[in-house]
Amino acid sequence: MAVRESHQETSGTPDPIERGFATLNTLRIGVKAMVEKDGELRKAEILSMKQRKDTPSFYVHYVDFNKRLDEWIPASRIDLSQEVEWPFPEKNEKNRKEKTATTNNKAQGKNQAQKRARADSRDISSTPDLLTGKNINVSKAQRPSKAGGKENREDETPVNSSFIGSEAASVAGTPRPEFEDVDMVDAGYSDSKDMKDEENGMEMSREEEIEKLRTGGSMTQNPIEIHRVRNLNRLQMGKHEMEPWYFSPYPEFFSDVDLVFIDEFCLSYFDDKNCFERHRAKCTLVHPPGNEIYRDDYISFFEVDGRRQRTWCRNLCLLSKLFLDHKTLYYDVDPFLFYCMCTRDETGCHLVGYFSKEKDSAEGYNLACILTLPQFQRRGFGRLLISFSYELSKREGKLGSPEKPLSDLGLLSYRQYWREVLVELLMQEGRESVSEYELAMYTSMTEKDVHETLLVLNMLRYHKGNWIIVLTDAVIDLHNKRLEKEKIKGIRKIDPARLQWKPPVFTASSRTWNW
């Protein structure tokens, strides 16, 4: 919430949240209402609406819940007996129009005009109600904009509000010095379509985002790209059926289909059962299309090059985007290697999870995205994936860290792994002292991760003028519990001796996109 506060500071005018009673008919996108969830009422924001057999249903995001819990609900679950919060007004709309008019009047030359057009087109597409066509969304046009008073409020999630906030702020001081600068930058680019627009903070931040994507090799999702409404309804894959968690840019009309079929081996997607069955009759793939680099009696790892297996890796990314919020499919898969973990049976090697890794990470990340498929979650596979990523780093002789931001599940998994690995090292017989550097060298974790993990576990303390590492009772307890569990269930570990892998070497040109 800090973000919003800062926004309010910058805009200078603290916007009081407008409350009031609503009826079914006045409910619209952006309204926050109390919604019944698992037997209790929670504040939820309406993100989309659709009419189905004359009964409206609402796509809601519960405040302070992860987006994966967003869902379609019938109107009956909305408690209209309580006041709702109306969204912030679309302040900027008026300004924008003014501005467009002025630039048009100026009509300064082709370049500028082009940009204007682009700006406008994106204004339309980047508003959060893109699904308009499909879901009969109440879109901007239907929004009672500029109506003043109560309805001129939009209270969105912090991310969005920060954008709007900065936009508003920039609009306030219209003739911006950055304006010209940005133009110059624009001219410097070879590919102007990548160019973001000019006027205000929002565009600037977006531009920076894309520039970051372009140069950083990051797989992080650009906030503006976050499509807020999940597009697939249900997923069939292998022996399981599941609900997707987030938006993924599968073909657009897949959002109309009840069930999307995913081939378990080639990860191709089908909206039609007939199609899928025909495909299965023809498809001969029985494992990820790469080289097996690790095998024990439980799992195998395959290394798949994004450049050589473009289709498969794209399919994989589309699939994993369904379960990873902060993943972008903005750019292609070429600069990544995909390490796919499989279990084996008589039908083939079944993908359980994977992580991607940049062929050359400028920031020293040893992992970009990591996912255990939801049907296999909570069985310790995530730990194996993390452990494997560090084994690769050890083989490379490098320290590594996962790319940020982490998801909630990612954070918990990593913290657990880090704790277990460090505590195991610290519990070794006869270890009287150790430096963070040594711990990092043993584990291939970065010194920062080592340090922070020790802090989080309250193990690194300042005692009588000296730093000490305290093996707390809680930590020892957890360690012993884990050992007991391993005794009963057996240890699932990555055995470095079974890893047949040399760090691949790529030339600069082979990392980039080309045919």
Partner 1 sequence: MTRYGGMGRTRPKKLTSKASIPVVREDQIDLIDDEVQSAIQQVETGVEKAEESEVHLQAAISAAALGKVSEANIPTPETVLSLIRYDELYPPNFSQPATYIRFSSTVEDCCGCAYHMVEEDNVFLKIMNQKRDASIQCTVDQFEEVMNFFEETAQLRQPFAAVDNPPALSYSEMEESFDVVVEDSVKRFAKDIYEHWKSRRIKNDNHPLQPALKFETGQETDDGDPYVCFRRREVRQIRKTRGRDAQSAEKLRRLRKELEDARQLVALVRQRELARKEMLGIERQIFLQRSEVKEMKRKLGVKDDDEDLINQKPKKKPVEVPMFQRPVVPQLRIPQRQAAEDLQLLEDVQAEKENEILRDIKQNLAKHVKWNEGYVDITMAPLTPSPKKTTYAGFRPAITTQLPTPPSSDSSGNANDSSSEGGLRNFADRYDSPVVEMDDDARKIPSFRRRIGRGGRIMIDRRNLTYHCKMEIDPLKLDRFKYDHDDVDDDLVFERDQYDIQIMQHRASMTVKAREQVALAREQAVQAHAQAQAQAQAQAQVQIQRRLQFDHATASASLGTGQTMGSNPGVGAMTASPVT
Closest approach of Cβ 64 to partner 1, in Å?
Answer: 5
Find the binding residues for partner 1 in span 1-60 (CB under 8 A).
1-3
Contact, 49 vs 29, CB < 8 A? yes
Residues 265, 420: Cα–Cα separation, whole Å: 33
Listed residue (219, 371, 203, 377) closest to 306, CA to CA = 219
Q: Pick from 79, 98, 272, 495 the residue near partner 1 by CB under 8 A.
A: 272
Give the shortest CB-92-to-partner 1 separation in angstroms. 16
Long-range contacts of 305-313, Cβ-Cβ distance < 8 Å, separation of 24 or more:
305/337, 305/338, 305/504, 306/332, 306/333, 306/334, 306/335, 306/336, 306/337, 306/338, 306/356, 307/333, 307/334, 307/335, 307/510, 310/334, 312/266, 312/267, 312/288, 313/338
Q: Which two tokens stand for residue 111?
A: 């370049």
- Which residue in the set 19, 99, 344, 492 belongs to the binding site for partner 1 (CB under 8 A)? 344
Residues 128-157 contacting partner 1, CB under 8 A: 130, 157
Of 50, 122, 176, 394, the residue at the interface with partner 1 (CB under 8 A) is 122
Half-sphere exposure of 491 (CA within 13 A, CB side): 7
Question: β-pairing, 365-367 with 401-402?
Answer: parallel
The nearest distance, CB 414 to partner 1, in angstroms, is 8
Asked if residue 144 lies in contact with residue 169, where contact means CB atoms within 8 angstroms, the answer is no
Single residue of 41, 80, 113, 434 touching partner 1 by CB under 8 A = 434
Interface pick for partner 1 out of 72, 416, 492, 510 (rule CB under 8 A)? 416
Instruction: Quote the Cα angle for 477-479-485, to 5°.
Output: 105
Rounded to the nearest whole angstrom, what is the least distance from the CB of residue 29 to partner 1 in the complex? Answer: 17
d(CA 510, CA 515): 10
| 86 part of the interface to partner 1, by CB under 8 A | no
Rounded Cα distance between 141 and 143, Å, is 5
Binding mask 183-222 for partner 1 (x = CB under 8 A): -------xx-xx-x-------------x---xx-------
Interacting residue with partner 1 among 14, 345, 429, 488 (CB under 8 A): 345
Of residues 383, 348, 380, the one with CA closest to residue 267: 348
Is 403 in the active site? yes
The nearer residue to partner 1, 26 or 482, going by C-beta atoms, is: 482
User: Which lies closer to partner 1 via its Cβ, residue 27 or residue 232?
Assistant: 232
Among 284, 397, 429, 488, binds partner 1 (CB under 8 A): 284
Pick from 392, 471, 402, 479: nearest CA to 433 = 471
Q: How far, rounded to the nearest angstrom, does the alpha carbon of residue 503 sit from its chain's CA centroid?
A: 27
Residues facing residue 483 across a β-bridge? none
Q: Which of 65, 72, 442, 506 touches partner 1 (CB under 8 A)?
A: 65
Q: Would you say 17 or 412 has its CB closer to partner 1?
A: 412
Nearest approach in angstroms of CB 21 to partner 1 is 27
Q: Give 53 or 110: the residue with its C-beta nearer to partner 1.
A: 110
Looking up tokens 């055995």 gives 495
Q: How far is the CB of 102 from partner 1 (least distance, A)?
A: 21
Structure-token match 């490379």, residue found: 396
Q: How far apart are CA 350 and CA 392, in angstroms?
A: 22
Continuous segment of H or E residues that includes residue 460:
strand 460-463
Residues 298-337 close enough to bind partner 1 by CB under 8 A: 300, 302, 308-312, 314-315, 317-318, 326, 329-335
Least Å distance, CB 24 to partner 1, is 27
Which residue, 58 or 269, has its beta carbon nearer to partner 1? 269
CB nearer partner 1, residue 151 or residue 156? 156
Closer residue to partner 1 (CB): 152 or 270: 270
Taking the complex as a whole, how short is the minimal distance between the CB of residue 232 and partner 1, in angstroms?
Answer: 12
Contact between 67 and 61 under an 8 Å Cβ cutoff? The reply is: yes
Q: What torsion do the CA atoms of 479, 481, 485, 491 make, to the nearest 10 degrees?
A: 0
| Part of the chain binding partner 1 (CB under 8 A), chosen from 17-25, 90-98, 384-392, 446-454 | 446-454
Footprint on residues 450-509 left by partner 1 (CB under 8 A): 451-452, 455-456, 458, 460-463, 465-478, 500, 509
The structure tokens 């690995």 sit at 421
Compute the least distance from the CB of residue 39 to partner 1, in Å: 14
Choosing from 412, 483, 484, 486, the residue that interacts with partner 1 (CB under 8 A) is 412
Q: Which one of 303, 403, 420, 432 is the catalytic residue?
A: 403
Q: In terms of CB distance, is 151 or 305 closer to partner 1? A: 305
Q: How many residues bind partner 1 (CB under 8 A)?
A: 150
User: Which amino acids are annotated catalytic?
Assistant: 403
